[in-house]
Structure 1
Amino acid sequence: MTWLDKFRLKKGLIQALNEIGFTTPTQIQQKTLARISGGQDVIGVGPEGCGKTTTYILAALNKFTYTPDGVPKVLILVPTKEKVEEVAEKIDQLNRNKTISIVQLFPAPGTEAQMNAMADGADIVVATPDRARAIYLKLGLDVNKIELLVIDDAELIVKQGFQLPVTELANSIPKCQCLVFTEVLHERLNKLIAPFMKQPAIVEVEELGEPQFDTLPQLLYVLPNFGTKVNLLNLFMQDEEVFTKVALFVNTRPTAEKLYASLNNRKNSVALLNPWFFEMDGFTSVQEFRDAATRVLIVVNDAEQKPELNDIPFLIHFELPVEKDIYINRMINRSPGDDNETMAITFATDLELASVKKIEQAIGQKIQVGDLPEDLIIEKERAPAETAEKKAAKIKGEDNAPGAAFHEKKASNAKTYNLKASVKAKMNKQKKH
């Protein structure tokens, strides 16, 4: 299929695509561009490198028919400064209408330069959610004429905790088409985008590579939070006949200490590999663990240490390592001809599913998802400790009388209103909009 066969793209865009070697649309572009051209909201799910960024850039540039007027028509939200720069560079690569103004907004000392750039005119804004919200609240971003809102790397935006600025910006736009692109679609992301997306089409593509090696049998358990992970681990460890020897992998020492205490409290035989406190049971090698009666060996992830894991019946990843190659190296079946009965089990929350997708793409196969036991206790989400401390401080402050430096605002200075974006824009005379 060529670009002219199905998609209503402008000639300048088709020419730019051919010049840079994009002669054939990718799978995700074939499945989404026609829907986007028709005005439908779309959620695109696919691995890194499948063409998601090019898809929404084509959709954005296709919005401009005549000379733009310098008022934002497209808002693209991405998680990091580096991604902002990458997207802006790709827009410039595909854009043949040089009258279109692209402005980048990302965290940097001060906002004056970015406010001035917006005042000079912006047709496409590429921004991190936090900085876009900050500029909006300073009357620098007019969202009233936005026709297309794009949220890219949405799973990372959720992981970084940018739900509030995304929600505020989306709710401030009177009416627009919404596109969301992500490597994985999970419950937390659905909660973020459901309120402002209108009957979106969900398009998912799978691009698994060719298997490079034999891997151990793997099983994935998707769990809502850390507490439920602990409950499932303890539930498994109650079965002493099945879980005779377990290597348990975690990312940090605090997590290792929590699991060590939890398993010990339930009278499980547990030790650490290379313990850092003398009062903790431990071994200096996996071979010592094999020869001992201890059932569980906790291993803190370290790229430099490569323990020999042969003949250990269960390898449990309580947390996925940051580098997927560390995980993959443990999953390689180094003796495929033998009767190796090792089973690899992975616990993952919604926020770790993107890492699971990258691993599946690298090993060339899907990891089977296991059913959660009926007697598993699902822990409720807990408020972060920092939030609890702030609430406590607020309550304490309300109990105390105001100090000497405290003074009530004048009635004329008290803000008891919430202006619409259009009113804010009119109040700022320096802006073109």
Structure 2
Amino acid sequence: MSFKKLIQPLKDSLKNKGFNEPIGVQKLILSKIKGGANLFCIAPKDSGKTTSIVLSVIQKLKGKAFEDAPRVLIFVKDKQAALDLELEFNAFLRGTDLRIYTAYDQKNIDQQRDDIYDGVDVVIATPKRLNRIFYLNGINLNKLQMCIVEDADFLFRNNNFAEVTRTPESIGRCQYLVFAEHFDKRFERWQDSFMFNSEVVTYQKD
């Protein structure tokens, strides 16, 4: 997919940053994501995975805030990863009114619950904190359109895989995207449960 098919605010941001066409893994996956496919994107570091997430999410939501319940949930490994991804989003939000929110363990959970209740479009969260907020009835997942895992290699530490696996049990139809440097055989459980007909896209740098 060329950048010409993106919404105008994204095209403006990309032009200002000097990007004229997709790079690396973006050439393989942007059109597939736009088409609604469930994907495992396997690619090395610095190949364009994170920017692919940001562009795809903003494009999917058409750059516009809507109601109160989040429409995109992104799992990350820790506080720093959440803050880094939020910064990446902020670099592309000009001309949109999307509300990005981070939820991680070091933040007051009651404050997080209240903030999310007030209305957000994208929640970037660590698995354990997201599940705690959910079980406190602090987040409505019924409107989710996309559920994403960034740098999914972290899932196989500290019970994170089980924490993330719980989430699809609580939501309806949704697009699932998993970004990682390696495909772990444990992902096959997701292919058999909620990531039906998913495609594994592998990219290697030249």
Aligned to 1:184: 182
Report the Cα offset of residue 67 of structure 1.
4.1
AA at the equivalent of 2:170: S
Structure 1: gaps (5+ residues): 209-433
In structure 2, C-alpha distance between the alignment counterparts of 1:107 and 1:86, rounded to whole Å: 16
Question: Matched residues in 2 for 1:193 and 1:113: separation?
Answer: 35
SS of equivalent to 1:95 = coil
Structure 1 residue 73 corresponds to structure 2 residue 108: no
Partner secondary structure for residue 165 of structure 1: helix
Aligned partner of 1:71: which letter? A
Report whether the alignment pairs 1:49 with 2:51.
no
SS of the residue 1:62 aligns to: helix
Instruction: Report the counterpart of residue 410 of structure 1 in structure 2.
Output: none
The answer to whether the Cα contact below 8 Å between 1:102 and 1:125 also exists between their aligned partners in 2 is yes
1:24 and 2:29 correspond: no
In 1, the alpha carbon distance for the partners of 2:197 and 2:191 equals 11
Cα distance between partner residues in 2 of 1:44 and 1:67: 27
The structure-2 alpha-carbon separation of the partners of 1:118 and 1:109, relative to structure 1 and needing over 3 Å to count, comes to closer
Counterpart residue number, 2:121? 123
Shift of 1:204: 0.6
TM-score (norm 2): 0.93
1:27 counterpart SS class: coil
CA shift digits 1:116-138 (9 cap, x unpaired): 21122111000011111111111
Name the structure where helix makes up a greater proportion of residues: 2
1:75 aligned counterpart, secondary structure: strand
Residues 154 and 189, structure 1, Cα contact 8 Å, conserved in 2:
no
Q: Whole-Å Cα distance in 1 between the matches of residues 96 and 115 of structure 2? A: 16
Kindly report structure 1 stretches of 4+ aligned residues shifted beyond 6 Å.
none
In the TM superposition, what is the alpha-carbon distance from 1:70 to its structure 2 partner?
Answer: 2.5
Q: Which residue does the alignment assign to 1:82?
A: 80
Name the CA distance, whole Å, in 2 between partners of 1:145 and 1:97.
Answer: 24
Q: Supply the AA of the counterpart residue of 1:142.
A: N
CA distance in 1: counterparts of 2:171 and 2:39, whole angstroms: 17
Q: What's the CA shift string for 1:47-84, capped at 9, x where partnerless?
A: 11001011111111112234422220000011111110
Asked which structure has the greater RCO (Cα within 8 Å, sep 6+), the reply is: 2
- Cα gap change, 1:37/1:116 in structure 2, threshold over 3 Å: closer, same or farther? same
CA distance in 2, matches of 1:195, 1:130: 21
Secondary structure of 1:60's match? helix
What TM-score does the superposition give when structure 1 sets the normalisation length? Answer: 0.45
The one-letter amino acid of 1:136's match is F
* Unaligned runs of at least 5 residues, structure 2: none
Give the superposed CA RMSD: 1.7
1:3 corresponds to which letter in structure 2? F
What is the 5 A alignment of 1:349-428?
none
Which of 108, 125, 138 aligns to 2:136? It is 138
Equivalent residues of 1:163, 1:192 under 8 A apart: no
The 1:63/1:131 distance shift into structure 2, 3 A limit, reads same
Instruction: Give the whole-Å Cα distance in 1 for the aligned partners of 2:197 and 2:2.
Output: 28
1:93–1:61 distance in 2 versus 1, CA, 3 Å: same
Deviation at 1:24, TM superposition (A): 2.4
Do 2:70 and 2:121's aligned partners in 1 also have CA atoms closer than 8 Å? Answer: yes
**2:202 is aligned with 1:204:** yes
User: How many Å apart are 1:168 and its aligned residue?
Assistant: 1.1
Larger CA Rg, structure 1 vs 2: 1
Q: 1:3 to 1:99 in 2, by over 3 A?
A: closer
Q: Which residue of 2 aligns with 1:171?
A: 169
* Match of residue 93, structure 1, among 86, 91, 94: 91
Task: Report the residue type matching 2:18 in the other structure.
Answer: G
Say which SS state the counterpart of residue 115 (structure 2) adopts.
Answer: helix
**2:43 is matched by which residue type in structure 1?**
G
Matched, 1:113 2:108: no
Shift of 1:30: 0.7
Which residue number in structure 2 is paired with residue 104 of structure 1?
A: 102
Correspondent of 2:156 among 155, 158, 165: 158
User: How far off its partner does 1:189 sit?
Assistant: 3.1
Deviation at 1:86, TM superposition (A): 0.7
Q: Which residue of structure 1 aligns with residue 8 of structure 2?
A: 11
Task: Check 1:63–1:36 CA distance in 2 against 1; reply closer, same or farther (3 A cut).
Answer: same
